[in-house]
Amino acid sequence: MKATFAAGCFWGVEARFQQLPGVLSTAVGYEGGKLDNPTYHDVCTDRTGHAEAVEIDYDPAKITYEQLLEEFFQLHDSTQLNRQGPDHGTQYRSVVFFHSPEQEAAAKQTIARLTAEKRFSKPIATQVVPAETFWRAEEYHQRYLEKRGALSCHI
């Protein structure tokens, strides 16, 4: 099964999801914009509409989509609009890109539950939108932190 999330800089997001049992593979890239085949340089102009995203292939017998959503909401500040930490711009927005009506419903239910629980002191800014085309980022971005011996970045 496939899941796609955007939660700020994709390097740290990818590293966190790679650690989860049941995650089979990850790729970083760009989703949600209007330019075909964008490059990192294109996306960083803040004019393409893409978010830095992580596409996850997972085994639903080992990890559920709901568990992936829980991790997603724990690993970043979903109340920030178009930014995470020092990074700002629309490419750093918080997004659940759903691949099915079931994923859409699960994401919206999770946001409603977290809001009702008052888990965060501010409203959740995460967008829930249909997955479209995932454009794989340049190879040097794939498993970036692992290649450099880093365990995490600022997320």
Q: Which residues are catalytic?
A: 9
The b-or-e profile of 118-131 (16+ CB within 10 A means b, else e) is eeeeeebbbebbeb
Backbone phi and psi for residue 46, each to the nearest 5 degrees, phi listed first: 65, 25
Task: Report the C-alpha gap between 97 and 138 in whole angstroms.
Answer: 20
Residue 1, CA atoms < 13 Å, CB-side half-sphere:
18
DSSP state of 152: -
* Contact (Cβ atoms closer than 8 angstroms) between residue 6 and residue 95: yes
Both structure tokens of 15: 């590293």
What number of other Cβ atoms are within 10 A of residue 111's Cβ? 18
